[in-house]
Chains A and B, each alone.
Chain A
Amino acid sequence: MAETALAYVKNVRDTAKSFWEGMSVTLSYMFRKPITTQYPDRTGVPVRDTIPARYRGFLEVDMDICTACQACERACPIAVINIDILKGDGKLVPKLRMERFDIDIGKCMYCGLCVEPCPTGAIQHTREFEGAVMNFDNLTLRFVPDVLKPVVAYKPPKGAESFPRQPLGEITRKLIVAWDAPPPPFPSKEEAAKDHGKPREGALDPAAMGRQLAAKALAVKDDKPKLQKILEEAMAGTDCGDCGYPDCFGYSDAIAKGKDTATDKCAPGGADSKAMLETILVTLKSGKLPEAAGGGPAPSGAEGGGPAAGQGSAAGEPQVPLKDAPAGPPLSKTLSKDELYKVVLDAMAGTDCGDCEYDDCDGYTKGIVYEGQTDLNRCAPGGEDTRAKLYNIMLGTKPPPK
């Protein structure tokens, strides 16, 4: 390739010029502050303080405002949260205490489903995220540090909108151990078996308490407000709302007034609450107190044998009030529209799921009561129960078979 002398000189000049420019640029960068942030130990502020407030980091439970409703435990899709409840009679010892509240952040997938149902906002995501440890067991955050010192459940004031919470992150930060900390002690089999199965002092005896409450209920059979109070005592009292009512009052009131017949809706109370409620309802229906189960195991199949009696009658029970409903004009004809609205709303499952193609239960209720909606089959969560109630209220008939 032929090259003129001019081009030759120009090439040399261009080389020198580009060296000159290029090297002055790189040298100038040498004298600037590197933009690298030296995580983790040379950052201006802790990194957790620089990430967005809604970041889903480690979970934190403020035990001071935890109602022990276990809504988070039920919400968790992968069983990361484990709560052990110690139930009391509500007199000598508190009704609900927690002897274990563990969250395995090594397993947690940070979906946030546990935060949603919490009635007091006790469980929250923090911005903590640095949990590298040598021992996997150290990733289990124990919010009840000592099993022998159970934490009493928080009883939220009626109608409270907000709850006093410790600053987010401080509790969890204390629970995160050093990366090389030894694993927590694990009890040996003998040690664990030592106290297994022994009754605890002040522990709840659902059979005995059920009979107690049933006796009281029998005495005030027709006084709905008093009956409601007794029924509420059989519930866990966490006002968690899992039953579909806003609080324990709503559920117990519905049962007292005969509007609700399901006894298994109290999730925190579990089998104990169900047994007690059934004992009460059976007593009210039959008019006589069930016999005590005696010292030994309850005789199988014995009618009126405490919890066994409750379970025995559970299958036929829910239909009872409907059968007993007065045969007359349906409620829709007798009540005013506004009263009817309340009754219909009560009959709904209350999940606001939107399956009925209205925005929420309120919308569907208004549709039925005020706007002439005639399709009463839309409440999917309520199922057959709600359907029966709606037909009874609106038409005074039984629902047609599907």
Chain B
Amino acid sequence: MQNWIDSLIRGWGQDPATWPWAQFVYLAFMGLFAFIVINFAAITAGIFSWAERRVAARMQSRVGPNRVGPFGFLQWIADAVKLLLKEDLVPTEADSVLFRAAPYFMMVGFACVFVCLPFSHTLIVADMNIGIFYILAVTALIVVGIIMSGWSSNSKWSLFGAIRSAAQIISYEIPAGMALMIPVMLAGTLSTQGIIRAQGGFPWQWFIFDNPAAFAAFFIYFISALAEGNRTPFDLPEAESELVSGYNTEYSGMRFSYFFLVEWGNMWIMSALATTMFLGGWQLPGLTPEKFDALTGGIAVVAELASLALFAGKTLFFVFVVMWLRWTLPRIRVDQMMNMCWKYLVPMSFAGVIFVAGWMLAVHAVPVLGVAMRAALFLAGAGAVIAFALRTMKNLRDTGDKFDFTSNW
């Protein structure tokens, strides 16, 4: 970030190295970036709340909110205003200090992740060399917030939700961390930008198609991320039918909206991380990172915007997949959730790490092995996508319906 600011200021004919108060300029920029990042997180979370309702409605043959603004797009603003105007209740028997503080822990843990999330070739708040490690570390703050809210509410439902959430998030941190180790090993760096740079613009250059273990790691990571974000089918901490609303049962108004902001904002985080680690991030096809760095002038701006759009597109697709999963799968039981983590995902992710270590040695010895595996996996993946599309069309036609995406919005 500092380099970026330096180059910006040099562009105006100044040299910050000669300024005695340069540190304050950096501080001001830090504040600006923090403002932008938090607003980005809040606004995307709001928009996702609307998008999820529209997607859910469509999948259930309903219409969904479509009255506020075009396609009901301004619904999330209306909802946010409503939530902000609601009374901020603190239960009498609650531990009011912890109760009030809990949503802020959630928000901090959530917003800090954005520091290391890339958006495009240049756009990243701080490209730390321990990026992934940092993300995994600050995400843990969310658990603190959840347990605080559950404990301080002094309600059985809240406490049950919090305990379930703690058990779930701590369990799934392990497979998520191990699955993320695989791209880290392949790239040889923990920096998020470094991992993207180690991949390529074309699908077969992505880490997901690098070897079978990486392919499996992508799914392990995605499942674990769902569990960490309390998303269906792992929404046990918020199970409406059992716990009313889980750890946030006693909250109202703005504090309540923080919890949901974090939940929906998490969808961007998990998808952006999947895109970064496994799907080539912002890499444009046919443009290597080195050539990208060398671009200047208008073409650089165009490439920058293209990379931004590509990254956002990939991320939004996975956000959609997360919503899609929610309206497909029922909630699983606590024992099933634990079973899945400890008996399947954890051993598989460990095996994957060991396999990748061996695989890297093998490819180093016989480079053609890597190329052949990439080609095979890419073709298998492409075939699966086509087969899935055909299967979907068959499901559509089997019921005597026809493809109609445009009417009755």
Contacts and interface: CB of A to CB of B under 8 A. Distances in A.
Are chains A and B native binding partners rather than an unrelated pairing? yes
Interface of A: 3, 11-12, 19-36, 38
B62 A25 contact: no
A36 B396 contact: no
Contact of A23 (B325, B343, B408): B325
Which range contains the number of B residues in contact with the other chain? Answer: 20 to 34
Contacts of B408: 33-34, 36, 38
A31 B328 contact: no
Interface of B: 55, 57-63, 66, 324-325, 327-329, 343-344, 388, 391-393, 395-396, 401-405, 407-408
Contacts of B61: 29, 32, 34-36
B203 to A, nearest CB: 20
Majority secondary structure of chain A interface residues (helix, strand, loop or mixed): helix
A194 B393 CA distance: 78
A3 to B, nearest CB: 8
B58 A30 contact: yes
A33 B59 CA distance: 10
Contacts of B395: 24-25, 28
A26 B327 contact: yes
7 closest pairs, A vs B, by CB?
Answer: A28-B395, A28-B396, A33-B404, A26-B328, A24-B391, A24-B392, A36-B63
A31 B61 CA distance: 9
Contacts of B401: 28, 32-33
B324 A31 contact: no
A30 B62 contact: no
A35 B63 CA distance: 8
A26 B388 CA distance: 12
Contacts of B60: 29
A397 B35 CA distance: 109
A34 B401 CA distance: 11
Contacts of B407: 33
Given A28-B396, A31-B404, A12 B391 contact: no
14 contacts: A19-B328, A19-B329, A22-B329, A23-B328, A24-B392, A25-B328, A26-B59, A28-B392, A28-B401, A29-B59, A30-B324, A32-B404, A34-B57, A34-B63
Contacts of A19: 328-329
A31 B55 CA distance: 10
Given A3-B343, A26-B324, 14 more contacts: A19-B329, A21-B391, A22-B328, A25-B395, A26-B327, A27-B324, A28-B392, A29-B58, A31-B392, A32-B404, A33-B401, A33-B408, A34-B61, A34-B62
Nearest to A27: B392
Contacts of A22: 328-329
Contacts of A12: 344
Contacts of A24: 388, 391-392, 395
Nearest to B57: A34
A146 to B, nearest CB: 40
B30 to A, nearest CB: 42
Nearest to B60: A29
Nearest to A12: B344
A20 B344 CA distance: 19
A29 B55 CA distance: 10
Contacts of A21: 391
Given A30-B58, A36-B61, A20 B388 contact: yes
A386 B408 CA distance: 68
B172 to A, nearest CB: 16
Contact of A11 (B324, B344, B392): B344
Contacts of A27: 59, 324, 392
